[in-house]
Structure 1
Amino acid sequence: MSNNIEEPIKMLRKKDWKIRMEAVETLGDIGGENVIRILINILNDDHWKVRRAAINSLVKIGEPAMQPLIEELRTGTQTKKREGAARALGLMRDERAIEPLIEALKDEEENIRDKAAEALGEIGDRRAVKYLEETLMDEHWFVRKSAAEALMKIENKNIRDYMW
Structure 2
Amino acid sequence: MKMEISRDIKALADPDRNIRIKAVKSLSASGQPAVEPLIRAMEREGSKDFRWYAAVTLARIGQPAIEPLITALKGTQDTEFRRYASAALGHMGGEAVDPLLLAMKSADPSLRGFLSAALCRIGPAAIERLKEAYASHDPDLRECASLTLWGMGEPGVIGMMQALEREEEEP
TM over 0.5: yes
Amino acid at match of 1:30: A
The residue number in structure 1 matching 2:85 is 85
Compute the TM-score of the two structures, normalised by the length of structure 2: 0.61
CA distance in 2, matches of 1:62, 1:19: 22
The structure number with the bigger radius of gyration is: 2
Q: 1:75 to 1:103 in 2, by over 3 A?
A: farther
Amino acid at match of 2:143: E
The reply on whether 1:125 has 2:124 as its aligned counterpart is: no
CA distance in 2, matches of 1:49, 1:156: 36
1:5-154 matches, within 5 Å, as: 5-11=5-11, 16=15, 21-22=20-21, 25-44=24-43, 45-93=45-93, 94=95, 95-103=97-105, 107-109=108-110, 112-121=111-120, 122=122, 123-129=125-131, 130=134, 134-135=143-144, 148-150=150-152, 152-154=154-156
Aligned-residue offset at 1:59: 1.3
The answer to whether the 8 Å contact 2:35/2:65 transfers is: yes
Q: For structure 2, which runs of at least 5 residues remain unmatched after alignment?
A: 135-139, 160-171
Identity of aligned residues (%): 23
Mean CA deviation greater in 91-100 or 124-133: 124-133
CA distance in 2, matches of 1:84, 1:31: 20
Bigger helix share? 2
The residue number in structure 2 matching 1:160 is none
The answer to whether the 8 Å contact 2:150/2:157 transfers is: no
The residue number in structure 2 matching 1:161 is none
- SS of corresponding position for 1:154: helix
The answer to whether the 8 Å contact 1:28/1:60 transfers is: no
* Count of paired positions: 146
1:25-59: CA deviation from partner (whole Å, max 9, x where unpaired): 14533322221012212434323232222111111
Mean CA deviation greater in 125-134 or 89-98: 125-134
CA distance in 1, matches of 2:144, 2:103: 12
